Amino acid sequence: MNSAALGLDPDSGYTSPSAYDGYNLVWADEFSGSELSDVWTFELGDGCPGLCGWGNDELEFYKKENTKLADGKLIITAKKENAGSRNYTSSRLITKGKKSFTYGRVDIRAILPKGQGMWPALWMLGENISEVSWPKCGEIDIMEMIGGSKEDRDRTVHGTVHWDNNGNYANYGGSTKLKSGIFNDEYHVFSILWDSQKIIWLLDGVQYHVIDITPGGLEEFHKPFFFIFNVAVGGKWPGNPDGSTLFPQEMKVDYIRVFQKK
């Protein structure tokens, strides 16, 4: 039975301000129309042959059909179904070549899937990835969750950066945990505050992680980045789904808003 049938508010949870002092709203997608904006491009398939499993041993095959707009939300659905040589399907959307930003505040309001093997992510890659490849392009993970009940996974989210440090792969991440409930229960807002000095990660407006990006070797984080929304299934980090994982699973995104200093 869904939440509406139970008389619950299906839109409950934290909502961020629509404006901030000292900032301009430079781009937003509220997903309120009947069709997805052409800012978004679908990445399809399983990454093969060049990057099978999308570099992480993931199990899903990405399709357009797993994304829809409904009730003012962008909904990505992960399903247990065959496509190509894979046993799961999902969607992955990017703004590469359409919307990229250097610095600003990003707020994304979303409700996450749950369960072992689920790997939702709201993240960014350097616009120059086609020229310099990963990790030299840099990566900013605004939100990642690896689902499952063990280790409180369904109630823990991670914020991480990845980069190339003088020829060596480097990363730096932090995480935060809900005091009660899980990220599938209601909406939360996942944010970064990014300027020439640092990147701060926030959950529902509360800081939980920060990195100083002024040292040499972190040049990646002073260049334009585009957005990626996806729900992966399986992979090196979450591990594979098991008998406890229920399908289909959804990630619903209410909005993305990008603000920059005046």
Each residue's pLDDT, cut to its tens digit, for the chain (262 residues) gives 444 445 567 799 999 999 999 999 999 999 999 999 999 999 999 999 999 999 999 999 999 999 999 999 999 999 999 999 999 999 999 999 999 999 999 999 999 999 999 999 999 999 999 999 999 999 999 999 999 999 999 999 999 999 999 899 999 999 999 999 999 999 999 999 999 999 999 999 999 999 999 998 999 999 999 999 999 999 999 999 999 999 999 999 999 999 999 9
* Contact partners, residue 153, CB within 8 Å, separation at least 6: 116, 145, 146, 147, 238
SS3 call for 210? strand
pTM for this structure?
0.96
Relative to beta strand 60-62, strand 88-90 is parallel
Domains of the chain (ranges; CATH) run 23-261 (2.60.120.200)
Per-residue DSSP letter, 131: H
Residues designated as active site: 139, 144
- 183-216 in b/e burial notation, b at 16+ Cβ within 10 A? bbbbbbbbbbbbeeeebbbbbbeeebbbbebeee
Q: Phi first, then psi: what are they for 122, rounded to 5°?
A: -125, 110
- How many angstroms separate the CA atoms of 257 and 262, rounded? 16
Question: DSSP for 7-44?
Answer: T--TT-B----S--TTEEEEEEE---SSS--TT-EE--
The whole-angstrom distance between residue 172's C-alpha and the CA centroid of its chain comes to 17
| Token pair for 125 | 């890659």
